[in-house]
Amino acid sequence: MPPDHFSAGDAELDFQSRDPTFTDFFRTKASVVEASGFGRVFLLKAESTEDPPVLGFYAICMARIAKPDLPPEQREGAPAEQMPVALLAQFGKDRRVSAARDVANEMMADMIQRVLVVAEEIGCAGIILDTREPKLVLRYEKFGFRKVGHNPSKEKPNQKMFLPIQHAQANVPKNQ
Amino acid sequence: MATELITDFEPQIRAWYSAEAGTNVGAKNARIGARSEGMVVSPRVLDLPLGNIETDIDLGADGAAQLLAMTREKPLEIPELARILAKYPRKR
């Protein structure tokens, strides 16, 4: 089964991430985000009892990129003061899931296709994410995300990455 | 305090915000309250529970220009992306 909406009771499922903040989000914030309607959380649940109950999950919501102080020639063709984007706010798997499982790829494909629907219906410049792990930059680059902006903070060395919506659209198989 | 962000709004909105929004843990109620006044209020302004998700993203002028330029690129073929989209189609 593909990833599905986080629902009542899912926070009680045994999910364990290597990152405690990610686990905490699952247990204490995911249900609130989902209930608020301002964001959505999707779970990929196990189909076998040999796996942990939740293989992975992601959270996504709309966000906006400010265009401060851009010179006029760069603003041309982008009339809005803010650019609407989809924000991949949380993305990860249970630490007990084997690396051989295709969990991240399945969730990434699901997430991108959901955003493509949003883009078709109301417009969206692309997908932005924020990663703290340099090794994940390489993984996201394989899916077409590219580094954008920079963060000089050594305490919180996050790297924002962006996938323009036209690149995502161009890679959907023609028969879909 | 998020309350300070709302001081430019109408008095009745300020009153609602001060009296209810801070203690109202029901995000739906907060959103309905804002909409009932015909306003569009971002989750950030109302300090609603999106966890620590920051939905106003400031990339700075260089970063914003870089992102804007990316939105104008011609569509690219990305083999790994095409592969996973084919393997995991939307409707299964």
Q: What ipTM score was computed for the predicted complex, to two decimals?
A: 0.89
Comparing CB atoms, the residue among A36, A39, A170 nearest residue B28 is A36
Which residues in chain A touch residue B56, judged by CB atoms under 8 angstroms apart? 63-64, 66
Which among B51, B75, B87 has the least Cβ separation from residue A109? B87
| Contacts A167 to B, Cβ<8 Å | 73, 75-76, 78, 81
Pick among 3.40.630.30, 3.10.129.10, 1.10.1200.10, 3.90.1150.10: CATH of A4-170: 3.40.630.30
Longest pairwise C-alpha distance within chain B: 55
Q: Is A57 left (phi over 0), alpha (psi -120 to 50) or beta?
A: beta
- State pLDDT tens for residues A71-102: 666 666 655 667 899 999 999 999 999 877 89
Global pTM reads 0.78
**Over the stretch A10-61, which tens digit does the pLDDT of each residue have?**
999 999 999 898 899 999 889 988 888 889 999 999 988 889 999 999 999 9
Helix (H), strand (E), coil (C) string for chain A:
CCCEECCCCHHHCCCCCCCHHHHHHHHHHHHHHHHHCCEEEEEEECCCCCCCCEEEEEEEEEEEEECCCCCHHHHCCCCCCEEEEEEEEEEEECCCCCCCCCHHHHHHHHHHHHHHHHHHHHCCCEEEEEECCHHHHHHHHHCCCEECCCCCCCCCCCEEEEEEHHHHHHCCCCCC
Would you list the domain boundaries of chain A? 4-170
Contact between chains at A32 and B84 (C-beta distance less than 8 A): no
Q: Residue B74 gets which letter from DSSP?
A: P
